Structure 1
Amino acid sequence: MRMVAGLLSGSHLISFAEIPDEVQRQAAGAGLQEVLIYLADLQQYVLRLVTGWGLDAREGAPAGLGELNIEGTVAGRAFQQTQTLAHHPTGDGGMWWVRCWTAPSAWVCCG
């Protein structure tokens, strides 16, 4: 809850491109290692990682993480079913796909 409160208190002072860094700062304070923000494209075919860099704020995405198909992926299933899902691809702590509280097309991956 502290992470959400921190984001809400300062979010009106930052640009869209600054959101990923601010979310990461707040997440670290909540004990999360990494938080990634994805937005669905208008046609809802793919989820695109918001990096905060470049003209479209999505340049520099790590290989394999920049764009995720909605059809046939855990992230896509969470998006389509509007629910939080866990995914453990390597057997370690894994990740959680969580619906963003403010925008129906925004999804957050917490790992």
Structure 2
Amino acid sequence: MALLQTFMRYASRKPPSGSTHSLKIDDAIFYIDWIVTSAVALGYSMVTVTMDGDPKTQIETPTVVVALLVLVVGVAMLPPLVRDTCYDATGKIKGWWHVVVLDLIGLTFLASSVVAGVKTYGS
């Protein structure tokens, strides 16, 4: 997904004069997409399993609690923390290290959503 998004950004923008491409450091920030994707998938999965009624696929209460905590942290608490620690006063990301850490956090959220789905539905 990240590679396709990067390609689409590269292919759809005209580079500024004197540059060979139009990509910027902000184009490498994917954590938002990954956290939103994991939140939607996890929420949809929990609703589907609840409506299913099949005892084999019922989610255990601790799993639901952890999933909801992950959603709250990822969607509500992480953005202000990112704003305060990863961006300067002008609204620009401080550097590549911040991009890498943010994307790793996003991948962690996405991976946890996949693991929760596998635990619920089986492999």
Greater relative contact order structure (CA < 8 Å, 6+ sep): 2
Whose Rg is larger?
2
- TM-score of the alignment, normalized to the shorter chain, above 0.5: no
TM-score (ref. length: structure 1): 0.25
